[in-house]
Amino acid sequence: MPLRWRLALLFTLGAAILIGGVALLFRQQLAAGMNSSLDDSLRARADAQVARLASSAPPPPAPSREHERAETPDTGSDDVTQVLSTSGQVLENSGDSRGPLAGGTRLRDAAKGSEQFTAVIEGQRYRMLGVPARNGDRTVVVVVGASTQIVEATQARTGKIFLTAGPPAAALVGFGAYLLAGAALRPVERLRRRLADISEHDIDARLRVPGTRDEIATLATTMNAVLDRLARALARERGFVADAGHELRTPLTTLKAELELAQQPGRSRQALASAVDAAAQDTDRLIRLAEDLLLLARADEGHAFLRPRPMAPHDVLAAAVRSASARAAAHRVTLRLSGEEHLRLTADPDRLRQAVDNLLDNALRYSPPGGLVEIGLGHRGRHRRAVVVIEVRDHGPGFPPEFLPVAFERFRRADTARSRADGGTGLGLAIVRSIAHAHGGRAVADNPPGGGARVRLELPTTPAQDGPAHGE
Ligand SMILES: Nc1ncnc2c1ncn2[C@@H]1O[C@H](COP(=O)(O)OP(=O)(O)O)[C@@H](O)[C@H]1O
Ligand SMILES: [Mg+2]
């Protein structure tokens, strides 16, 4: 059911309950008030009779049939008054002749003190009051009564008024709620329609924020912020795909050219062999690129691509240094590993190795012949905030200062031509950062005093429970 209808029904129901409750209370209070004023007038009439009897001569003991009974003064046609002897004999009677209005225990109680009761006389309900009185030297009982007809009629009338006016009033409240809810929800519906119209092709489209400074405006602002983030992510993704396509095209084009050249008739065996060799190198590069792209795509999924376990980072560094040593020797570069061997860490050793390999690859590439590459291992902080710091530093030209802020972005290279010639794709540092993030850590690059480039990898000793601390 639409929210509008639900609100309208809720308000109708609430109004009906409220009106019903008020009606009941009103009726009850009205009856109580009227009855109490009836009681007051009964009391006054009884007091008047008591006073009259006390001052007058005793009435004849047994009124004879021939004698008209003494009429008592009366205030209204519906009122009844009787003076009874304690034995139940009617001594005085107002109006038409009727039997005693009280008898038995009720009469005895009334002779002792005042007694209130109701009675039905000729089909009409009466409120009655019996009080003792002295007439001469004997005790008599004065019984006065008043019809409750007016009270009942008034009660019935108010009931009828509420019954006829209540339901339309409740319905009116419901209708008002329906209209109000409609007016309040209209901007929401507008937002929904606009949002439904936005597709992936107009990623710059935004919702119009109403100037009302209310919840609707907040909702629109929040939605726009979400759209901003989605648009940024989409743009990044598209850029990534375009860059990847571009990177793939270069080795594929040369591969094709080499194959076409090899195909030409009359090629020597040696020329063929070198063409195949070149093709194999290009294929290697393509495989590396594909692997890097795959890794980055997996890293975007968060923790899933990690298999963390307790490990010794020093072992990983030592292994990486060992396998880079041949290339270092060829470049006449010295690798020096130092640091805290005992450090332990929960991390994925394979991914960590990959990150260190990428850093060593860069350091070797940018180190001058005879240079020194220092690999350091240390820690910072304590307990839950302890981080292991892995550092790779060379003494080459260092990062171009304007390049430092974007060094970790995908496909970024300070010197594209040279880097590509060296086989670089600009994904090395991006992978380092992705691996650091997936571990809940981070990667920082700088040019330390004394020259050269330095990249630090900071990994928490116990990885965060709630996923990587991504902040791209
Ligand atoms: N040790 C370093 N010294 C100087 N520049 C570096 C160093 N490491 C990386 N860079 C710069 O950062 C760029 C990005 O590095 P990287 O992501 O590893 O890509 P690639 O190695 O494929 O070029 C490099 O192209 C280079 O310009
Ligand atoms: Mg690299």
* Best of 243, 406, 419, 444 for a ligand 1 pocket test (most atoms within 8 Å of beta carbon): 419
Q: For the segment 398-424, what is each residue's pLDDT rounded down to a tens digit?
A: 999 999 999 999 988 887 776 666 767
Give residue 418's pLDDT.
Answer: 66
Residue written as tokens 């006449």?
Answer: 332
- Burial class from Cβ neighbours inside 10 Å (0-12, 13-18, 19+) for residue 201 reads exposed
How many of the other CB atoms lie within 10 Å of CB of 345? 27
What share of residues in the chain are helix, strand, coil (percent, to 5)? 55, 15, 30
Task: Please list the residues that pair with 345 across neighbouring strands.
Answer: 311
Angle (nearest 5°) at CA 4 between 3 and 5 = 95
CATH architecture of 215-296: Orthogonal Bundle (1.10)
Contact 209, 228 (CB under 8 A): no
Whole-structure pTM over 0.85, yes or no? no
> Which secondary-structure segment (H or E) carries 115?
strand 115-121
- Burial class from Cβ neighbours inside 10 Å (0-12, 13-18, 19+) for residue 379 reads middle
Residues with CB under 5 A from ligand 2 (ion): 362, 428
Show Cβ contacts of residue 36 under 8 Å, excluding neighbours closer than 6 positions.
Answer: none
Single-letter amino acid code for the residue at 246: H
Give residue 57's pLDDT.
Answer: 64
Q: In the chain, which residues fall in CATH 3.30.450?
A: 3-154
Could you tell me whether strands 442-446 and 309-311 are parallel, antiparallel, or unpaired per DSSP bridges?
unpaired
SS3 category, 142: strand
SS3 category, 295: helix
Distance CA 452, CA 317 (A): 20
Give residue 465's pLDDT.
Answer: 53
The CATH number of the structural domain formed by 3-154 is 3.30.450
Pocket flag, ligand 1, residue 423 (CB < 6 Å): no
Distance CA 309, CA 62 (A): 118
Pocket flag, ligand 1, residue 445 (CB < 6 Å): no
Pocket flag, ligand 1, residue 231 (CB < 6 Å): no
Q: In the chain, which residues fall in CATH 1.10.287.130?
A: 215-296
Could you tell me whether strands 138-147 and 80-85 are parallel, antiparallel, or unpaired per DSSP bridges?
antiparallel
Pocket flag, ligand 1, residue 453 (CB < 6 Å): yes
CATH architecture of 307-460: 2-Layer Sandwich (3.30)
**Ligand 1 closest atom vs CA 455:** 1
Q: What is the mean pLDDT of the chain?
A: 87
Among 344, 355, 348, 350, which Cα is nearest to 386's? 344
Pocket flag, ligand 1, residue 426 (CB < 6 Å): yes
Cα of 432 to ligand 2 centre, how many Å? 10
Among 195, 172, 185, 153, which Cα is nearest to 27's? 153
Q: For the segment 218-271, what is each residue's pLDDT rounded down to a tens digit?
A: 999 999 999 999 999 888 888 888 988 988 898 899 899 988 888 888 888 898
Could you tell me whether strands 454-460 and 124-135 are parallel, antiparallel, or unpaired per DSSP bridges?
unpaired
For 21, 161, 251, 444, 455, the CA distances from 392, given in Å and listed in that order, are 81, 91, 30, 11, 6
Among 319, 300, 321, 303, which Cα is nearest to 311's? 319
- Per cent of the chain over pLDDT 70 is 91
Single-letter amino acid code for the residue at 178: Y
- Burial class from Cβ neighbours inside 10 Å (0-12, 13-18, 19+) for residue 460 reads buried
Average pLDDT over residues 309-331: 95
Cα of 170 to ligand 2 centre, how many Å? 76
pLDDT higher than 50, residue 75: no
Q: In the chain, which residues fall in CATH 3.30.565.10?
A: 307-460
Distance CA 133, CA 57 (A): 13
Average pLDDT over residues 267-277: 88
Contact 144, 132 (CB under 8 A): no
Give residue 317's pLDDT.
Answer: 97
Instruction: Count CA atoms within 13 Å of residue 380 on its CB side.
Output: 10
Tokens of 140: 């008599």
Radius of gyration for the chain, computed over Cα atoms and rounded to the nearest angstrom? 52
Cα 302 to the center of its chain, rounded Å: 26
Residue nearest to atom 27 of ligand 1 (CA): 414
Give residue 122's pLDDT.
Answer: 81
